[in-house]
Amino acid sequence: MAERSGGTRGEENQAAAGSPLWTYPVPGWAAWRRGQRGEAVGVAVSWTSALVGAILGWGAVWGGMMVAYAYLLHVVSVAKVARRRGFPHWNWRVAVVWSGVVLGGAIYIPALRVAWTVFHPVRTDDGRRYAVDTRRFDPEALASGEWLWVATPLWRADRVPPVQGIAALLGGFEPTGDGRVWKARRFRGLGTSEGEVGRLIAGPGQRVTWDVVALRVDGRSSWFKLPNDLTDRWEFVVPPDHWAVLVMRFPTTSERLRRNASTGDENDDLATSVASAAKFQVAGGHRLVRAPQLWLVHRHHIQGRVWGRLSPFWRGRDG
């Protein structure tokens, strides 16, 4: 019996050694070569399922758990190969550590770095998640209508020009006096974890006009229609190194909205989001209200292009 068992182990090692070296990191391949088809299929299916789950849950906690599960399963699979092929003197702990370091450094860390840069997951104030391409790009090459991710430092305070209905001003400039004079502002370091999604309206030097009927850029009608209850006419020229971006935010709860509408507090955060709060009627005490905002965004705040919204597949686009 001992000789038969030893012979079987030798045959398994010989079969495993007959495979090309590049096949050993493939989950389940070594077990398949040893004739352990059940184990091989189980490892391959589990690893593939975890990888698919990580993609579907990208940016969510359970997506990260799927990545960790796929990594650990892969480490165990390769550790078995390492002990059978050339390193029989290794104990199980050494094989696992060695496999984890090699797989992490050669495959998982580089792959996650690329994915984190090209499909960077972000979250807006209202809890929606998006995938953003944060690779370096030239803002001058941006086209009107592109979806952008605009980073917003937590410590900043909104500055509101004297324009009805459209609100926040963000970036290296802020209005002074009657809002037609601009002075430079400097921001500290920015991150990509806090911000908003918006569509590009106009670039540096372009004139943005609201004539009550339509939003115009350099005299041409824009693709976006503003609320019909905006009765004030206004226009401005986008400052150098800035872009006009239109975002839709959830600035406050309905309770706060009703309080500001009744008090008319111009210093409250709502005043930086909606100039005429009394025109909004909200049912319920917890509903969030979208408000259009036109932001003047410095190039340093434009952190990337938006690929699309990240949402669990069972919730659909509105989940």
* Whether the model pTM is above 0.85: no
61 versus 30: the higher-pLDDT residue is: 61
- Least confident stretch, 66-70, 143-147, 273-277: 273-277
201 phi and psi angles, rounded to 5 deg: -100, -50
Reply yes or no on whether the pLDDT at 186 is more than 60.
no
With cut-offs at 50, 70 and 90, classify the pLDDT of residue 302.
confident
Return the number of other C-beta atoms located less than 10 Å from residue 76's C-beta.
16
Q: Which two tokens stand for residue 109?
A: 């860390």
Domains in the chain, start-ordered, CATH in brackets?
2-118 (no CATH), 122-250+290-310 (2.10.109)
218-260 pLDDT, tens per residue?
A: 888 776 666 555 556 777 788 777 888 887 665 444 434 444 4
Give, as one character, the DSSP assignment of residue 271.
G
* Predicted local confidence at residue 276, as pLDDT: 33
**Beta strands 242-249 and 291-298, pairing class:** antiparallel
With cut-offs at 50, 70 and 90, classify the pLDDT of residue 150.
confident
End-to-end CA gap in the chain: 61
